[in-house]
Each structure stands twice: as C-alpha cells, then as structure tokens.
Amino acid sequence: MAGRVLILGAGIIGLSSAWHALRRGYQVTVVDRGESSRDGCSFGNAGMVVPSHFIPLAAPGVVWQGLKWMWNPESPFYIRPRLSWDLMSWGLRFWWASSPRRVEAAAPVLRDLNFASRSIYEEWAADIASGPGDFGLETKGLLMLCQTAAGFHEEALFADRANALGVPARVLDAAATREMEPGISLKIEGSVFFPRDCHLDPNRLMAGLEAKCRAMGADFRFRTEVTGFLRDGRRLRGATTGGGEVEADQVVLAAGSWSPVVARQLGLGLPMQAGKGYSVTVPSPRKLPRICSILTEARVAVTPMAGRLRVGGTMELSGLNEKIAEARVRGIKRSFCRYYTDFTEADFEGLAPWRGLRPCTPDGLPYLGRSRKIPNLVIATGHAMMGLSLGPVTGKLVGELLDNAPTSINLSLLAPERYG
C-alpha cells in the first residue's frame, strides 16, 4: 500500500479526496462529526457544475451591494451583527481582496478547476453508474435569467468576458430564452446561456460516491469528533477522536465550515466564515424546467432533479449556527415566483427548508495545498458555494499532493497558509 491517509470530513471534498486516494493505492479512513444520513452543504445545494463561475466571491462591487441588501430581511445577503474579531478581520480581508487585479488573476484558475471537475464528473457518471447508481448528470447548460434591463446589460458584458476567457456564452433575448424552456412562463428581459455548465442530484451523487469508496476499501467513521492529534515532531501520526485513536501517515483537512476549529488544534489559522444557504425542494412541481438557472438579480438557483425542483440561495454570515431564518427562505420563494410566473408561494406550502453552512475564505478562493508548518498535512477546504462544482478536481489535486507529485493545476493562489 502507498500508506495510510486520514481524511477529516465526509462532504464532497472529503469523499472526492477519498476516491482519488483509493485509486492511488492508499488505505483511507474518513472521519466526520455528522451522521451517516447527512444533510450538510454537499447534500441540499443546487447541484450545479459551473465553469461560468470564474469570478471569486470577493469581487469589485460585492461589498457595496451587500451593504444595500443588509437592511432587507428577505435579501440574498445578511451578516448577523456580533462582536467577533474573526468576523471583522475576515471582512477587512474580503474588502482588500475585492479588486480587479485579484479577480483577473483568479479567473483563469477557477476556469481551469471547473472544466477539470466537469471532465471528472463525466468519468464518474460512467463509473458510479456501473456500481452503486446514477447521480443524474445533465449536460444541458445553464441560463442566467435577467429580469431588468440593467441586469441583462451587465450579464451580456459578462458573456463577452467569458467568451474571451474560453468559457462559451450566448446572449439570448426573452423570446429566444423561452424557446429553450417551452411551456414555462418566464418574466424576464433576456438571459445568457452557458452551454458547458451542467447539473446533477447531489444527494444521489454523495450516496453513490460513498458507496463506491466503501467498495474500494475506505473505512468511514461518522458521529466522530476529532479531539486532538498525535504528533511526531512537526509531523502528524494521526488523530484522537471520541471513538479512539486513528493512526495515519498523512492527514487531509476537508472539514468544511468546521475546518478552522480543527486547524486551531493544530496551531494553524484558516480565516473563514460559515455562509449559510437555504433550499426548498418541490417533489412534484406543476411544471419542470429543462435547464438549471440562476436568477441574476435575486441570486437564486433553480435546478430540476429527477422530476423534483430545487430552489435555493442566500448568503447569511451568522457563525456556526444552523438555525433557519424564515424570512430568508420566504425571500427565495418570492423571488422564484417573480421570474417563474406559473408558480405561487402556495406551491411551497408544507415543505421543510434545508440549510447548510458553506466555508467562505476572505478572497473567495479555496485553501488547497500542503501545509508549510506540518509537512504531512494537506488542506482542502474553503470552497464556499463552489464545493460541489470543484469537488472532483480538488480530490484529484489532493491525490497528487499525497503522492508529492507535480499538481496538474498551479495552486499558488490557493496556498492554505496565505494569511499566515
């Protein structure tokens, strides 16, 4: 065997890392604080794989737009006021990162990561379907729906930028958009269509990927909290947990929004805020769109999933707190009904909302690479809303890092200790 790898976290990043490590001959143990029937941010998200999303969360104009939204309880963005040095320092770093220069540097990296992930999803669609089951990969593209003339103009400019970067995009007027969604009533000015984007069912993906990893020999330990680490000088020998010690030759930190808590036990700082998102899934919608979409002005994602319809959104920074804010959920439903006029809020009655915490770094780029301070620790976290989209390629890069091989994508911008 190539050695023993302990992976902390069983979300999409942890499972993808496990799959790639197993493929490389490692003995893999995955530890997760949650239940085996999980509902973290890898499960209830919009299921989108989006090469179109090459702009990081920290981008010019985002701070001012966020401040405007703060005063609306149903808006797509909210920060719960609290005395927190972590939040204040994260906010300052976010502000500094929201510059055109940083965005220009990040865009090609995010493009390459997303395209690489998409290719791996196509590989998994054949591999996982031949084993535990299909996860509903649909390569039909994505529509960015615009309801205002200003929004449509801005999105059309973005399409020019995408095409220049090698991400295909087509600007469609309202009539051309409706032709792509026959039978669906849309109140829009127009849209931008990204043909290389796709979507899938995250619940089925996670179940299939976990089953595949188990079949390949992975040991999963759920409801298991990491309480400390076994050390040998600068290196780790494994971890102590509520279920006993787990020895390992290498450790992968992929614990999502809980990664900074674990990192502190290792003496590392990973600036991060948990960005809460919500979704509601309609099991038998009156109509079902063919193509996934994003409502640009409302920041709401809409995804058809095997006869169901998932609608989600919001970025709520309120700490490691999983309470559901009904006003945020109500805002998502109302926004959806304004664009998709066949629907009313009554279509969502009696449906329980899902919530998940997305790990957000100050500059909107994930932490991915080997630790400088702990040579046998690989850090893979901080993907914010892009976890599902970037999960497969992150796992591939983790596998390359475990092998001490040159990485297939330059990770210099993603250095996990870039903030010290």
10-residue mean pLDDT series, the chain (420 residues): 91 97 97 74 87 86 66 73 83 88 93 97 80 80 97 96 97 97 96 97 92 95 94 96 94 96 94 93 95 96 95 88 89 96 95 94 96 97 96 98 96 94
Both 295 and 174 in one domain: the answer is yes
- Burial classification of residue 4, based on how many CB atoms lie within 10 Å of its CB (0-12 exposed, 13-18 middle, 19 or more buried): middle
How many independent structural domains does the chain possess? 2
171 in Cβ contact with 143 (< 8 Å): no
What pLDDT score does 132 carry?
45
Both 282 and 345 in one domain: the answer is yes
User: Rounded to whole angstroms, how far apart are CA atoms 59 and 153?
Assistant: 18
Both 231 and 354 in one domain: the answer is no
What pLDDT score does 76 carry?
73
Asked if residue 376 is part of any domain, the answer here is yes
Both 279 and 218 in one domain: the answer is no
Asked if residue 110 is part of any domain, the answer here is no
Dihedral sign of CA atoms 371, 373, 377, 379 in order: negative
Question: How do strand 300-305 and strand 244-247 relate by DSSP bridges?
Answer: unpaired
Q: DSSP character for 42?
A: T
Both 87 and 146 in one domain: the answer is yes
Which contiguous run of DSSP H or E holds residue 293? strand 292-295
Both 229 and 288 in one domain: the answer is no
User: Rounded to whole angstroms, how far apart are CA atoms 182 and 245?
Assistant: 57
383 in Cβ contact with 366 (< 8 Å): yes
Both 278 and 348 in one domain: the answer is yes
Range of the domain at 337: 49-98+124-198+272-360
Asked if residue 104 is part of any domain, the answer here is no
Both 370 and 338 in one domain: the answer is no
145 in Cβ contact with 339 (< 8 Å): yes
Axis crossing angle, helix 100-129 with helix 202-215, rounded to the nearest 10: 60
The residue among 34, 50, 41, 37 whose CA lies nearest residue 279 is 41
For the full predicted model, state whether its pTM sits above 0.85: yes
User: Rounded to whole angstroms, how far apart are CA atoms 262 and 102?
Assistant: 28
Both 94 and 149 in one domain: the answer is yes
